[in-house]
Each structure stands twice: as structure tokens, then as C-alpha cells.
């Protein structure tokens, strides 16, 4: 199926052009609601009708809602295109591509895509501020990086132009927006069109377009940003025949290199000599201040960074080989090698795998990554492990089978967890003695799956700085009987306590959303107290709580609840609600399923 807007009667057909203006969130409490509020219609400058844009607030943040104009909301083709744009956009997670959050049915915008709000200027507007050549070079490299990311996933934008590229207010980052014409090989129906100045000839002819059409548009952007440079790259990118254009973003980037670089043979020889003297990736032994010998490899000589590695690769250390690290290990902030000082930023996969003699590990601030199975199988690693603030990524099973660990202190303020099968996402899998975790007061957010599959966890201490518990936060915590949720908490994520051993839980007044399966299959949960601020409870949030005796809801207005949110609770469970709201709960489609609804004084 094709949707082809007419481009014959206009010199410069515009698919969609819109700009986001700078602004600040007001002090109204409505902005913190779970529902969208403060709608502001954004201009859509297009010769093709159909779409509407709103800026709105939810949870104290601005979002952009992209939907259909009222007269087009029942058009099945346009709804299908909007759904397609969402399905493509939600796959993309890149710092220079606008983030797509969800596809929702909104009272104001109808069926709409909820996406990140970017406070900045379009590329054309930014160029009017006369940025430096270095700034323009940085922005274009970011655009190339984002498009290479899309093409690796077989996604083609097909409408690259200055108005679809936003520059943040500080001028430091680009954001590619509007995937309304985007495509990939997985969709049977396609739209054609584009902006005449940037669209490839095959697009204007209504023919099949792919990643090479984006290469053509990138050539146009390069010419717009650098009118008197990169002529060779522009000419090749904008050849009429797609097969004669650069066949990848990397090939286009290579054409941007000045030709005189090829003449600098002396510099090349010096570079080769430096590479021979300090080759990245070469493994070498390091003697620490404690006298222990570990192994490292250079990650980047120019950035002076190294990683500690396992000389046996991904295989565990052989216990019968002399020199296996043992005792108390202090990972230093830096080491010296051949007269240079290198920062220790990574512990590579299996770096200390099966070092059964290790008893304690202390990380210096500066460690940014802990690899897969880095300390797996260190059976004597005991007492407390402290995750440093500097950590940016921790891979799966990093501390699996460390049976003597008892306490985890989490200080990482901006960390993500590696991907893998669900059971493999646990970092502390089968740590049988690990019963307590402490989250430092400096932590404002936690990564998904952070304490999942910790079978023997009994106690979690959370700071009053947290606003959200991520999905799978402490699922499968079979020994976790109680937890104090911080008063600052606003969102309980999907499956946060799925199949835990909680017996009672008090949800703070600041909490507004309880996610899917949040307390599902908590077979020991007997008492639940829900604070005054809860607005929405998603499906199966309290599914199969077979021991539930009482649920206290302090909201005067019954929170929005989907039909299956209370599936499987006992018939004799009692619901306590504010005295003046008893009738509202009894008449509610879902809350009214409780056989007994009794008043309670606030």
C-alpha cells in the first residue's frame, strides 16, 4: 500500500515542519499528575493535512504528542501510518534520535505517539546563529552517527532535512525527529514523498527507496552546513544512480577526509611507530602496590585507559597456576606502563572469573564498566561489596556464584545493565549469603533488573531521593518479606516486586502509578496500604495475592484500575476506604468486586 502526497504542483513539498520553542514548566501541581495537562498546540507547517502536535505535561515533564486531526482520526490508513511510525521509533535508543515513549489514546490528541520534548532550534534556525566550523562539524558527525545506528537496524528515515533535525538549546547535541515517512523491509505498506530539495530522485519518482536515499539527503545537509567544503563528498552522495552513491554512512564519512591526509606519510609512519610501542589491546602483567599480579590491556593509548583482563580469555583462572589473584584486591584508579600513566576504567569479561582465593574487592572511583562474569565463581569473596558512583555499565552475571557475599552497597548514579535472557540479567545470581542491599543517598535512579533474581535477599534500604522503582526492580526476591518505600517515590515500575515474599506493603502518598504485575504472585502478601496520591493501577498489579486480608486505600477518588488488576484475590478480603467515598468504591466497576468495603477515617 502506498500513500503518495502530490508533489507535482509545488516547488518545495514539505511533509512536516515544526519547531519546538524554549520554555519552562510552571509551578502548577497539575504538571505532576499522571494525566497529561497544560496542552499547547504546536504548529505543523505542511501541505499534507492530517497530523496535529501538542506539548503537554505529565509527571512534571514536557512531552510531545503527535496525533491525527479530529477529522482524520477514523481514517484507517492514517492510523496505520501513525502506528507504523511508533513501531519504528520505539526501536531506536540513541542520544541523537528523539526518544519515543509510547502509543496512547489521549482525550485531547486521540491516538497519539508520546515522545521526548526537545528544547531547542531547528538546524536552519541554528545555522542563522553562525556557529563555528568546529560546532557544525560536531553536529554533522552526530547526525551521521545516528543514521548509521538506524541503518544497522534496517531503518531508513527518508525525510532528512533541516527542519527534522533539532539542536539543543546549548548547541551541543543534535536530535533527529519525525519518522513519519520512515521505513524498513519488515513493512508491506509504504509511504512515498519527501522534500524536493533533499529527497532522492527515486523518492520523487515514487520508486523503491532505501538507505541510499538517506545518503542522498545527507549530501544535501552537508552542502547546507558547509557550502564551500566537502564538494567531493556532496557530489558523490547526490548522484542520480543509487548504486553509484556511497553505500553506507561510513563510506560517506570517509569521503569527508581531506585528500592531503594521504600525503602525510611521515605522520603515518610516526603513528605506526607509536602503535607498535603502545598497541591497543596488548595484554601485559601489572604488579599492584599489594604485590599482587594482575593483567591489563590498553583500551586507548591516546585516552590513556586500560582494562583489567583474564589472560586465559573467557575461561576461568586455573587454580593450579601460580600467580592467581588472591586475598584482598584493591582495584587502583591508575597504573603506570612504559612510562605512561593509564586510568583503569574497565574490568573486562571474566577478568577475575573463578579466582576462588579472592576475599575482598575494593573499587576505586573511576571504574566505568564491570564485564560479564567479571567476578563470577569467587566463592570466598565475602562481606560487603561497594559499587562505585563512577560505574556506567555492569554486565550480566558480574558477581554470580559469589556465595560468601553478605551486603551490597549501591552508589552508581547513572548505570545500565547488560542485555541477555531474563534469568541472565541478574548481576548477583545465586549469591546465597547476600541478604542486604543499601542504596546510597546520592542515587536518584536505578537501572532495570538491578536486584532481580537475588533469591536470598531479605532487606533493601532505599534513600528518600528515589522517584521511581524500575521494572523488575526486585522480582524473584523469595526471602524479601518487608520493605520501606521512600516517601519521594512516584512510580512503581512493571513487575517491581513480582513473586517476592512481601507480607505487607505501604505505598506512600506521593506515589501516582503502580505498574503491570508490580506485586503479582506475592503469595504471602496479607496487607496493602495505598496512599492518597495513587491515580492509576495497571493490569495484574495485585494478581494472585491469595493471602490478602485487607487493602486500605486512602484516595478519596477511586484510582483508575484496569479490569484484571485484582485478579485472583480472596473473596473474604476487606477493602477499607475513606468514609465519604464508600459508595463510590462500591459502585466502581473494579473496586466494587470486593465483597466487603468498609469505612476508615483518614
- Range with the lowest mean pLDDT among 45-54, 179-188, 372-381, 580-589? 45-54
pLDDT at 509: 95
pLDDT at 581: 94
Which of 281, 285, 310 is closest to 297 using CA atoms? Answer: 281
Is the model's pLDDT at 31 over the cut of 70? no
Cell triple for 283: 595484554
Rounded Cα gap, residues 392 and 413, in angstroms? 8
Cell triple for 73: 482520526
- Range with the lowest mean pLDDT among 164-178, 182-196, 405-419? 182-196
Cβ atoms of 448 and 426 closer than 8 Å: no
**Residues 167-179, mean pLDDT to the nearest whole number:** 92
Residue pLDDT, tens place only, 383-409: 899 999 999 999 888 998 898 999 999
Cell triple for 83: 502506528
pLDDT at 307: 94
Average pLDDT, the chain: 86
Q: Where are the beta strands (DSSP E) in 245-368?
A: 283-287, 293-300, 305-309, 327-331, 334-337, 340-347, 358-363
Is the model's pLDDT at 529 over the cut of 60? yes
pLDDT at 186: 74
Rounded Cα gap, residues 280 and 299, in angstroms? 6
Which domains, and CATH codes, for the chain?
A: 2-116 (3.30.200.20), 130-261 (1.10.510.10), 264-466 (3.80.10.10), 488-602 (3.80.10.10)
**Residues 551-569, mean pLDDT to the nearest whole number:** 91
CA angle 11/15/16 to nearest 5° reads: 125
Is the model's pLDDT at 165 over the cut of 90? yes
pLDDT at 2: 33
Q: What is the 3-state secondary structure (H, E, C) of 96-136?
A: CECCEEEEEEECCCEEEEEEECCCEEEHHHHHCCCCCHHHH
84 burial level (CB within 10 Å; 0-12, 13-18, 19+) = buried
**Angle between the 211-225 and 133-152 helix axes, to the nearest 10 degrees?**
180
Is the model's pLDDT at 288 over the cut of 60? yes
pLDDT at 316: 57
Q: Where are the beta strands (DSSP E) in 491-573?
A: 491-492, 504-507, 513-514, 527-530, 536-537, 550-553, 560-561
Cβ atoms of 440 and 412 closer than 8 Å: no
Compute the Cα dihedral for 162, 163, 168, 169 and give only its sign. Answer: positive
What are the CA-CA distances from residue 469 to residues 395, 530, 536 (Å)?
Answer: 20, 16, 16
Residues 6+ apart with CB under 8 A from 507: 485, 489, 492, 514, 528, 529, 530, 531, 534
Cell triple for 12: 518545495
Beta sheet of 560-561, edge-to-edge order: 468-469, 491-492, 513-514, 536-537, 560-561
Rounded Cα gap, residues 279 and 34, in angstroms? 53
Rounded Cα gap, residues 331 and 329, in angstroms? 6
Cα 233 to its chain centre, rounded Å, is: 34
**Residues 62-67, mean pLDDT to the nearest whole number:** 93
- Other Cβ atoms within 10 Å of 43 Cβ, number: 10
Cβ atoms of 365 and 342 closer than 8 Å: no
- Percent of the chain with pLDDT strictly greater than 70: 86
Confidence band, pLDDT 50/70/90 cuts, at residue 192: low
Residue pLDDT, tens place only, 208-265: 889 999 999 999 999 999 998 899 999 999 999 999 999 999 999 999 887 655 555 6
Compute the Cα dihedral for 229, 230, 236, 237 and give only its sign. Answer: negative
Query: % helix / strand / coil in the chain, to the nearest 5?
Result: 20, 25, 55
Residue recorded with cell 520512515: 182
Rounded Cα gap, residues 7 and 436, in angstroms? 65
5-13 contacts: CB < 8 A, separation 24 or more? 5/47, 5/48, 5/193, 7/193, 7/194, 7/196, 7/204, 10/47, 10/196, 11/196, 12/195, 12/196, 12/197, 13/47, 13/193, 13/194, 13/195, 13/196
Amino acid at each position: 500500500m502506498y500513500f503518495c502526497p502530490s508533489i507535482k504542483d509545488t516547488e518545495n513539498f514539505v511533509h512536516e515542519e515544526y519547531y519546538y520553542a524554549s520554555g519552562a514548566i510552571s509551578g502548577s501541581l497539575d504538571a505532576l499528575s499522571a494525566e497529561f495537562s497544560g496542552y499547547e498546540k504546536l504548529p505543523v507547517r505542511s501541505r499534507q493535512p492530517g497530523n496535529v502536535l501538542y506539548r503537554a505535561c505529565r509527571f512534571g515533564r514536557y512531552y510531545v504528542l503527535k496525533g491525527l486531526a479530529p477529522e482524520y482520526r477514523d481514517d484507517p490508513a492514517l492510523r496505520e501510518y501513525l502506528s507504523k511510525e511508533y513501531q519504528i521509533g520505539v526501536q531506536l535508543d540513541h542520544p541523537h534520535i528523539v526518544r519515543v515513549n509510547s502509543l496512547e489514546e489521549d482525550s485531547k490528541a486521540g491516538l497519539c505517539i508520546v515522545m521526548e520534548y526537545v528544547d531547542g532550534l531547528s538546524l536552519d534556525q541554528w545555522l542563522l546563529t553562525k556557529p563555528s566550523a568546529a560546532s557544525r562539524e560536531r553536529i554533522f558527525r552526530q547526525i551521521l552517527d545516528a543514521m548509521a545506528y538506524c541503518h544497522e537496524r534496517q531503518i531508513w528515515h527518508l525525510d532528512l532535512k533541516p527542519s527534522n533535525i533539532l539542536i539543543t538549546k546549548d548547541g551541543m547535541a543534535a536530535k533527529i525527529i519525525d519518522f513519519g515517512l520512515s521505513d524498513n523491509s519488515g513493512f508491506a505498506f509504504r509511504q512515498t514523498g519527501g522534500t524536493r530539495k533533499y529527497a532522492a530522485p527515486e523518492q520523487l519518482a515514487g520508486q523503491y527507496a532505501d538507505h541510499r536515499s538517506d545518503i542522498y539527503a545527507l549530501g544535501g545537509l552537508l552542502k547546507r552546513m558547509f557550502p564551500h567544503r566537502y564538494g567531493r563528498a556532496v557530489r558523490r552522495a547526490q548522484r542520480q544512480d543509487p548504486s553509484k552513491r556511497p553505500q553506507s554512512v561510513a563510506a560517506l564519512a570517509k569521503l569527508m577526509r581531506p585528500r592531503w591526509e594521504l600525503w602525510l606519510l611521515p605522520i603515518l609512519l610516526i603513528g605506526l611507530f607509536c602503535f607498535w610501542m603502545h598497541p591497543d589491546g596488548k595484554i601485559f602483567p601489572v604488579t599492584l602496590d599489594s604485590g599482587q599480579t594482575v593483567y591489563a590491556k590498553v583500551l586507548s593509548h591516546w585516552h590513556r585507559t586500560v582494562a583489567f583482563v583474564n589472560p586465559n580469555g573467557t575461561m576461568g583462572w586455573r587454580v593450579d597456576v601460580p600467580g592467581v589473584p588472591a586475598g584482598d584486591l584493591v582495584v587502583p584508579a591508575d597504573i603506570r606502563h612504559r612510562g605512561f600513566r593509564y586510568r583503569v576504567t574497565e574490568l573486562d569479561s571474566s577478568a577475575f572469573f573463578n579466582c576462588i582465593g579472592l576475599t575482598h574487592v575494593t573499587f576505586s572511583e573511576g571504574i566505568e564498566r564491570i564485564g560479564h562474569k567479571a567476578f563470577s565463581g569467587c566463592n570466598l569473596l565475602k562481606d560487603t561489596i561497594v559499587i562505585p558512583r563512577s560505574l556506567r555499565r555492569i554486565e550480566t552475571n558480574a558477581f554470580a556464584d559469589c556465595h560468601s557475599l553478605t551486603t551490597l552497597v549501591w552508589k552508581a548514579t547513572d548505570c545500565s545493565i547488560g542485555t541477555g535472557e531474563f534469568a541472565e540479567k541478574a548481576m548477583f545470581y545465586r549469591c546465597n549469603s547476600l541478604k542486604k542491599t543499601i542504596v546510597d543517598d546520592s542515587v536518584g535512579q536505578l537501572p532495570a533488573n538491578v536486584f532481580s533474581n537475588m533469591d536470598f535477599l531479605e532487606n533493601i534500604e532505599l534513600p528518600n531521593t528515589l522517584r521511581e522503582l524500575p521494572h523488575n526492580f526486585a522480582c524473584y526476591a523469595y526471602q524479601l518479606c518487608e520493605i520501606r518505600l521512600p516517601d519521594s517515590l512516584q512510580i512503581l515500575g512493571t513487575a517491581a516486586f513480582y513473586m517476592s515474599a512481601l507480607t505487607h506493603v505501604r505505598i506512600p502518598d506521593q506515589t501516582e502509578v503502580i505498574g503491570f504485575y508490580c506485586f503479582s504472585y506475592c503469595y504471602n502478601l496479607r496487607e496493602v496500604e495505598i496512599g492518597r496520591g495513587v491515580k492509576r493501577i495497571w493490569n495484574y498489579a495485585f494478581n494472585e495475592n491469595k493471602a490478602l486480608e485487607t487493602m486500605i486505600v486512602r484516595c478519596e477518588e477511586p484510582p483508575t484500575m484496569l479490569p484484571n488488576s485484582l485478579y485472583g484475590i480472596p473473596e473474604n478480603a476487606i477493602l477499607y476506604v475513606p468514609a465519604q467515598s464508600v459508595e463510590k468504591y462500591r459502585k466502581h466497576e473494579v473496586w466494587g468486586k470486593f465483597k466487603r468495603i468498609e469505612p476508615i477515617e483518614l
